[in-house]
Amino acid sequence: MSTQPNTTGTTPPAPRPAPAHRRVLAHGLYEAQITLRNGEQLLVSLILPLLVLIGLHRAHAITDIVPEIQTTAPGVLALAVMASAFTGASIATGFERQYRVLAFLSTTPLGPTGLILGKAIAVLCVILVQLTVLGGTGLALGWEPDPVGLIWLGCGVVLGAAAFTALGLLIAGTVRAEATLAVTNVAWVLMGAAGGAVIPLSHEGAGALLLGLPSAALGEALREAAIHGTLPVIPLLILTAWVVTAVLLARRFFRWT
């Protein structure tokens, strides 16, 4: 490398950051790689949902109390979306905030908005891997989703990812990292077990009151799309309300340090 001084009398151009879309995409892919290489995150986001899917399929062969694969497969996809968008993203963000990584990255050309968009891209990349693995396993076990309904299922996945990412960032930006770890893990288990994500809730009595939960709305949206091939209007509207509410609250209360 040449060390000769500049004798032309001109000032060399200052380095410029890459275009915004390239910065966001690079950060998103980087975070996705870190998540997929993290054994603990991989366990929660992929291995556990896979075990739930296979376990429920085996349980249905023993007792009719457990729904068949046509019902449980979309529910497990909902569980996986919550694992990545809610649990994984919030825990990572919480510890980044505690160690002041967020405050540092927000001062780079990536900026606060680019940082959040990069995290959203990372979540979608992980979800794409989950859909491939879990969807392929479901098909091997006999799942037969409606072909047209897969379009609406994709819409539900994206909207559900947005809702749970916003909720996760809201928690990560307002409480300590250790509290984020505990709250999101417990909430994920409760929403998966009794919140209507995996197993459908009753539409009568107390069960009907829980249909407004984001987990129930996501599960209902994916099941309705996969089983009936129709646009799940009500569940998607509920998810949209959660997206708007969580984003507004996160913008108001999120702290970078």
What pLDDT does residue 248 have? 95
- For residues 212 and 123, give the distance between their C-alpha atoms in angstroms, rounded to a whole number: 24
pTM greater than 0.95 = no
Averaged pLDDT, 151-163:
96
C-alpha Rg value of the chain to the nearest Å: 21
Task: Place 1 in a pLDDT band, splitting at 50, 70 and 90.
Answer: very low
Q: Is residue 7 scored above 60 in pLDDT?
A: no
Q: What is the pLDDT of residue 8?
A: 58
Q: Where are the domains of the chain?
A: 20-253
**pLDDT per residue as tens digits for the range 104-121:** 887 888 888 888 899 999
- What are the pLDDT digits (tens) for 203-243? 887 778 899 999 999 999 999 999 999 999 999 999 999 99
- Let me know if 70 is exposed, middle or buried by CB neighbors in 10 A (0-12, 13-18, 19+): middle
187-190 LR contacts (CB < 8 Å, sep 24+) = 187/86, 188/44, 188/82, 188/83, 188/86, 188/87
Per residue in 30-65, pLDDT tens?
999 988 888 888 889 999 999 999 999 999 999 988
Q: How is 108-151 classified by DSSP, letter by letter?
A: STTHHHHHHHHHHHHHHHHHHHHHHHHHHHHHHTT----TTHHH
Q: Contact at 8 Å (CB) between 191 and 183?
A: no
